[in-house]
Structure 1
């Protein structure tokens, strides 16, 4: 593997991290485009592509998905071309990575993400203990509903952080940090011998994200059940651990109702007659009404498109699988599932299937499966779960 090949893999890692929108790229929207163009140049011009015959079906499904998501719903020829360069080509090029390149991608991604979180954790802890750090006020240039952030440069926090400051590193939301940490922990097989795993666990726990906690717990259960050839003992162990954790949660919530964990996590798990649980606050009431209104119309099948969706809900924060359905319809989500299943078919193993389940659970709450940090990581990780 030559230097150019390694460089292209590292650029792919940067594209993946930038898809999480750390604060330092908010005003540099063109930076990701520059790295995408560099990645395409390195892979198509300076690196010999190895398009194995097994890739053809996956690439075909990927093309159909792109035609519908970014072609049918495109507002102009220009936007179609931009999405072809920004979305389709990078995805296809990562699919054609060799097994060694995919292994290096996962290692680079884990290291880069962990270093970012570690630096943030160190400075966040210093600030949390009462030390003053240089800071400034920043605002997301597009999603104004976030409000102001206090930027400490190595980490950001929400300006009005309430009873307790949730850790979110340099990213827009604590949930984004927790979501990716949970996925990377699964990919790294929860190996406690790796310092990166400890960093990801601490960062995830300090995010106080209910969804991240659930993904962490369910990911551990899925991993250790599917890893074992004998299912009975792992199931019994997991049942015992689950029962102990549930009892501990009930005890904390009952006797320490005003604690940080009770307020930010456990209280959101109370039953609600309308939302299921109190913490199910991913969509506002106007979104829910519009979603219910289109369920018997063709828009439910085909979607309303990203431009119309943005015009309707620009000032509100909505994030669940329903957002993807509203934008691209049931047909869009069907093609998305077909794409991931075609990848799974090519590199099937128990652990690969477990990662697919984990991403599916994450998608229910945050429909970010096509963010490069999720799609690239999935593509590269599932090939590594296969036994040689």
Structure 2
């Protein structure tokens, strides 16, 4: 009886942790007012379940002291308000949750990645289904939704069953107005990266059918960052083996066929313009007009050792999503500590999982460094190598 209660408590702990991981992916309904209260409420429930878990397993808890120490050092540096434009923020719950993860039984964490992978699959399946139905001319119910934020394009959505259309992400194809799919997330590129994170986990988490659906959904985001992650996944896993050529031939054939039939507007807007642009142009697409000037002036005037602080964007009304935003907030020391954290977390890993994790870390950091503030980033970086050690046979219903 006691063992059954313990199993149910662990299952509930895994479910609540999965919800927190999902919420840390920034679904559109958590943008704007009320998100902090929702996140804190779920966090309190998780905290209670975690303390119950610790109370029941306190004498047999297993954890890696080096991982805990490196994580504490990094998070204290990133979140303790000692810089000029700093204060303690609600997002401090994400590193606290990650620290608790380091003390959990791996079987609970495996349940979480099973649950999370399935959720992303169902979101992707629904988004692809909606896309196909709209493409063949079937009208679906929809309504406009606003997050309430002002001065940002990520505030107005058209909601369909299972997916959202962000304002300004539509295009014409075969006489119909379609859009880059976003699932339940804030924008298409973000959705593509979340899908890629799931695909980087061990293959046994998902059936081949589920993986195909995830790849199709990733392609329909029309996100270059996602395409880079998918190519990296293929090349790192299979290298120049016969299998990679077998996979690449149909992909290249499909890409050529797509190039022939897709309207020039789509190719130029979402793909060719980004490939043809130099690196500074691509970076500045995700940057407010004043950011580059402020960033350059700040780094000329200061040896940016510890950064200006996490509120510098709000103070000077700046906007940026790439690595420069992280460097401005947390400086050279923040970058060094983040790299050291990654190195210690992934030491003694086998070659393929390490390369996968390193490539994902690099692309996400260069492309969307703001994700470093969220649980999903640390959780996936931590779990990718662990998933390749061999997943236990877990009954997700127990």
Class of the TM-score when normalised by the shorter of the 2 chains: 0.7 to 0.9
Within 5 Å, which residues of 2 pair with 1:243-254? none
Residue 138 (structure 1) aligns with? 145
TM-score by length of 2: 0.82
Within 5 Å, which residues of 2 pair with 1:130-279? 130-142=137-149, 144-146=151-153, 147-164=155-172, 165-189=179-203, 193-225=207-239, 233-234=240-241, 258=264, 260-272=266-278, 275=279
1:350 aligns with 2:352: yes
1:329 aligns with 2:337: no
Displacement after TM superposition at 1:111 (Å): 0.6
8 Å contact from structure 1 (residues 208, 265) kept in 2: yes
1:44 aligns with 2:51: yes
Looking at structure 2, the residues matched to 251 and 287 of structure 1 have their Cα atoms a distance apart, in angstroms, of 40
Looking at structure 2, the residues matched to 192 and 87 of structure 1 have their Cα atoms a distance apart, in angstroms, of 26
Looking at structure 2, the residues matched to 153 and 208 of structure 1 have their Cα atoms a distance apart, in angstroms, of 20
Residue 97 (structure 1) aligns with? 104
Pair 13,347 (structure 1): closer, same or farther in 2 beyond 3 Å: farther
1:69 aligns with 2:78: yes
Looking at structure 1, the residues matched to 167 and 28 of structure 2 have their Cα atoms a distance apart, in angstroms, of 14
With 134-143 and 351-360 compared, the bigger mean Cα shift is at 134-143
- Per-residue Cα deviation, 1:246-289 (whole angstroms, up to 9, x for no partner): 898689769977163444212321144xx456586222442112
Structure 2 counterpart of 1:10, from 12, 15, 22: 15
With 304-313 and 124-133 compared, the bigger mean Cα shift is at 124-133
Q: SS of the counterpart of 2:165?
A: strand
Unaligned runs of 5+ in 2: 1-5, 173-178, 392-398
Displacement after TM superposition at 1:148 (Å): 2.1
- Per-residue Cα deviation, 1:169-202 (whole angstroms, up to 9, x for no partner): 1111100110111121121339884332122111
8 Å contact from structure 2 (residues 286, 321) kept in 1: yes
8 Å contact from structure 1 (residues 157, 168) kept in 2: yes
Displacement after TM superposition at 1:112 (Å): 1.3
8 Å contact from structure 1 (residues 282, 365) kept in 2: no
C-alpha RMSD of the superposition: 3.3
Residue 299 (structure 2) aligns with? 295
Unaligned runs of 5+ in 1: 226-232
Pair 155,108 (structure 1): closer, same or farther in 2 beyond 3 Å: same
Pair 41,132 (structure 1): closer, same or farther in 2 beyond 3 Å: same
Pair 246,263 (structure 1): closer, same or farther in 2 beyond 3 Å: farther
Looking at structure 1, the residues matched to 125 and 384 of structure 2 have their Cα atoms a distance apart, in angstroms, of 23
Looking at structure 1, the residues matched to 206 and 18 of structure 2 have their Cα atoms a distance apart, in angstroms, of 23
8 Å contact from structure 1 (residues 105, 380) kept in 2: no
8 Å contact from structure 1 (residues 302, 331) kept in 2: yes
8 Å contact from structure 2 (residues 236, 352) kept in 1: no
TM-score by length of 1: 0.84
Pair 89,279 (structure 1): closer, same or farther in 2 beyond 3 Å: closer
- Per-residue Cα deviation, 1:80-138 (whole angstroms, up to 9, x for no partner): 38555x13321111122222222211111101111122223323432343333332222
8 Å contact from structure 2 (residues 127, 162) kept in 1: yes
8 Å contact from structure 1 (residues 182, 204) kept in 2: yes
Q: SS of the counterpart of 1:156?
A: strand
Residue 343 (structure 2) aligns with? 341
8 Å contact from structure 2 (residues 117, 198) kept in 1: yes
- Per-residue Cα deviation, 1:288-341 (whole angstroms, up to 9, x for no partner): 122122223436221111212222235x4x211111111111211221222222
Q: SS of the counterpart of 2:264?
A: coil
1:119 aligns with 2:122: no
1:381 aligns with 2:389: no
Looking at structure 2, the residues matched to 246 and 195 of structure 1 have their Cα atoms a distance apart, in angstroms, of 21
